Amino acid sequence: MDNQTFRFSPQLMIGAAIMILGFLFLFDNLNVIDAGRIIRLWPVLFILFGILKISQSRNPSSWFVGGVFIFIGSIMTLGRLGIMHFSLHQWWPIFLIIVGISFLLKAWTRHQHGAVLGASRIMNHDESTVNVVTFMGGNHIKNISQDFRGGEVTAVMGGVEMDLRQASMSGEAILNVFTFWGGIDIKVPPDWNVIMNGIPILGGIDDKTVQPADSQSKRFVIKGYAIMGGVEIKN
C-alpha cells in the first residue's frame, strides 16, 4: 500500500476551525462555556494563516507575507486580551515599515527563480513551475512552458494576471493560489480541464472556462483560498 505524506492544507485548517466553532456554540448553548469570551479572540486566525503561509513556501517573499499576517494577528490579539493598547492612530507607522521591507525584499528576490514581490511589470517565463508573490502591486505573467506542472501564486492587496494560453502540459498540473484583498486572473488553453478545489472566504473563485471534449487528458487543478478577494480562470 502506498504511503501518502500528510500535509497541513488550507482546507484542513478551515475545516478544523469550523468544527471548533460548532463545538463552541454547542457548549455555549449547554451553558458549559461562554463562547463570546473565546470568539473575541478571532484575530488568532490571522496568526494561523501566517503560519500556514510560511510552512507551505520556501521563498522569502512568501515568508514576509506570512510574517505580516502573524504580526497583525498578534497585535490585535494582545489588544483584545488587554495586554497592550492597540490604536490605529498610534500604530499606523507600522504600515510604512511593512512597505519599506517589501521594497527591500523585492530588490533581494528579483533574481530568484520566478519569485517576485510587489513589482508592477510584465514577465515571460518558460519554467515548468511558477512562484509569484505580489504585495501591494501588480504582475502580468506569461508562461510558455511545454511541460507546465503548476506552482504557487499569492496576491495580497494586489493583483496577478497569468497567461498560460501558450503553455502545455501532460497529465496534471497543480496550482496553489492565495489572495487576500486582491485578485488573481488566469487564462488557460482550451484543451485544459480546470478542476476547482479552492475555498473562498468572503470572496470568490470562479471557473469561466468551457470544458474540453477530452476532460481527462490535461487536468489543471486549482487549490488554495481567496479571502475577501477573487480568483478567476478563463479559456
pLDDT at 169 over 70: yes
pTM of this structure:
0.56
Residue 4 resides in a domain: no
List the one residue out of 192, 186, 190, 151 whose CA is nearest residue 169.
Answer: 192
- At 73, list the grid cell: 494577528
Same domain as 132, residue 230: yes
Which of 76, 108, 140 finishes a domain? Answer: 108
Which of 47, 80, 108 finishes a domain? Answer: 108
Residue 3 resides in a domain: no
Same domain as 140, residue 104: no
Q: How many domains does the chain have?
A: 2
Same domain as 138, residue 23: no
- Average pLDDT, integer, range 166-170: 87
Same domain as 119, residue 104: no
Give the count of alpha carbons within 13 A of 62, CB side only.
23
Residue 119 resides in a domain: yes
Range of the domain at 88: 10-108
Residue 227 resides in a domain: yes
Distance (Å, whole) CA 37 – CA 142:
48
Which of 87, 108, 129 finishes a domain? Answer: 108
Averaged confidence pLDDT in the chain: 77
The total number of residues shown for the chain amounts to 235
pLDDT over 70, % of the chain: 76
Which pLDDT tens digit goes with each residue over 143-167? 888 888 888 888 877 889 999 998 8
| Displacement of CA 17 from its chain's centroid (Å) | 17
pLDDT at res. 111 = 47
Residue 1 resides in a domain: no
Most confident of 73-77, 100-104, 107-111: 73-77
Same domain as 116, residue 102: no
- Range list of H helices, the chain: 10-29, 35-39, 44-55, 60-80, 88-91, 93-109
pLDDT at res. 107 = 57
